[in-house]
Structure 1
Amino acid sequence: MARLAALHAALADPARLQIVDVLALGDAAPSELAELLGVGSNLLAHHLKVLEREGMVVRTRSEGDGRRWYVRLVPETLDAVQVRPVREVARVLFVCTANSARSHLATALWRRVSTVPTASAGTHPAGRIAPGAMAAARRHGLDLPAITPQHVESVRARGDLVVTVCDRAHEELQFPVDVHWSVPDPIGPGTPAAFDDALADLERRANALAPHLALRPA
């Protein structure tokens, strides 16, 4: 009962409820949260401290700009919290830097959990999908065709819900991003375990996002 009371006390503020609502679908930098809420950095820091104290959110350092941090929701602490309603979209577009691992794995997972169409792209496309990503897909029974990575500007279309799955892509895109997932890059370590960890992270996030999206009527 004491834990439940502490949880409700931490959420007893409209700004903190809005932070939870935003983070329920993806990660955000403190500066992005401050801008969204229209509050100063000191007030935002207070709200984040309250949520961190109860284990509702954690911070991770950006793999792109090491001076930057992202705030992530710890969803198992908030199973009883109602998040945002269903949103209608034409397609879900997953974007990473090279379009060679995380974004392709995300699309393969998305096809497993949702009927909303999906595609992937990169800000600096590689020449091919990483062999480690292909191997991880095979290990987990995912349909991942060996297609050529594409640039985001040639793939993005009107009505897309854009989900960045790497920090570098999120930080350099020049158009608004709908959802950000701060997923560590498995290509650096290059081990099967690193790709499996990224896949597990993406799967958890896809399962959380899917119930809140529906296909927009033609």
Structure 2
Amino acid sequence: MNTEWMDEVARRAALHAALSDPGRLAVVELLSRGDASPSELARTLAVPSNLLAHHVNVLVEHGLVERTRSEGDGRRTYLRLLPVDLGTGPGALPRPARVLFVCTANSARSHLAVALWRSASDVPAASAGTHPAPAVHPGAVAAAARHDLTLGDARPRLLDDVRQDGDLVVTVCDRAHEEVDVDADVHWSIPDPVRAGTDDAFDRAVVALDRRVALLAPRLVA
């Protein structure tokens, strides 16, 4: 019998064993929508923090979830679902009137997210910032060109001027997510490429956003 195949079967069996607990499966289901801090998950699931920590440790140990440090409040940790194929699909979510991507400066990640979204879904999309920059960052413009994305006449705009009733608000920035008046529906903890300012940083942001878009877009159904 093929040893490599049996090793792969054993690996997938271990993953499914890790998900055999309803609490851990619920954590994975929530993280399939977007990133969340342990405290956010504990509140949503109404479980004690020590039980939530146990579930998270098991998921991290099996390579299903990873921890990242917030770029906003450095004391905060976000949990991110890793791209592991379990042979199952996530559940559907109600179709919103529009998807609104939000970051702090509205100069890079949120515009790239809109461009990727428009290639993946017919649900309208827009972007905004909690503290808009004067202009879209040149690195984002260059990254869009490298990945054949269209930014159009994108410009930074204030969240209060853009947000509408019926929006599904997706924060793509830790700082924006942590502002008390944003109240996001989904959070994607995407590292800020402007901080590094390199082509590689912007390309990594595009890849990370593209993966999240590919997970969320098929779930929004009428």
Q: Same fold (TM over 0.5)?
A: yes
**1:14 partnered with 2:15:** no
Q: CA deviation at 1:146?
A: 3.6
**1:195 partnered with 2:202:** yes
CA pair 125-175 structure 1, distance change in 2 beyond 3 A: closer
The answer (yes or no) to whether the contact 1:91–1:117 under 8 Å persists in 2 is yes
Give the match's secondary structure for 1:158: coil
Q: How many residues align?
A: 214
Q: CA deviation at 1:86?
A: 3.8
Tell me, which stretches of 5 or more residues in structure 1 are unaligned?
none
TM-score, normalisation: structure 1: 0.94
The answer (yes or no) to whether the contact 1:86–1:211 under 8 Å persists in 2 is no
**1:134 partnered with 2:119:** no
Q: In structure 1, what residue type is equivalent to 2:167?
A: D
- Cα distance in 1 between the residues matched to 2:54 and 2:143: 41
Which among 24, 31, 35 is matched to residue 23 of structure 1? 31
Match of residue 82 from structure 1: 89
- Cα distance in 1 between the residues matched to 2:72 and 2:209: 19
TM-score, normalisation: structure 2: 0.93
The answer (yes or no) to whether the contact 2:95–2:220 under 8 Å persists in 1 is yes
Tell me, which stretches of 5 or more residues in structure 2 are unaligned?
1-8
Match of residue 96 from structure 1: 103
Match of residue 49 from structure 1: 57
Q: CA deviation at 1:5?
A: 2.6
- Cα distance in 2 between the residues matched to 1:15 and 1:144: 41
- Cα distance in 1 between the residues matched to 2:154 and 2:101: 15
Q: CA deviation at 1:44?
A: 0.5
Percentage of pairs with the same residue: 61
- Cα distance in 2 between the residues matched to 1:125 and 1:45: 36
For the aligned residues, what is the CA RMSD?
Answer: 1.2
Q: String of CA shifts for 1:33-86, please: whole Å, max 9, x gaps.
A: 01011111111110001111111100000011111100000122x432331224
The answer (yes or no) to whether the contact 1:7–1:54 under 8 Å persists in 2 is yes
Which among 172, 187, 196 is matched to residue 179 of structure 2? 172
Q: CA deviation at 1:148?
A: 2.6
- Cα distance in 2 between the residues matched to 1:200 and 1:6: 28
Q: Deviation above 6 Å: which 4+ runs of structure 1?
A: none
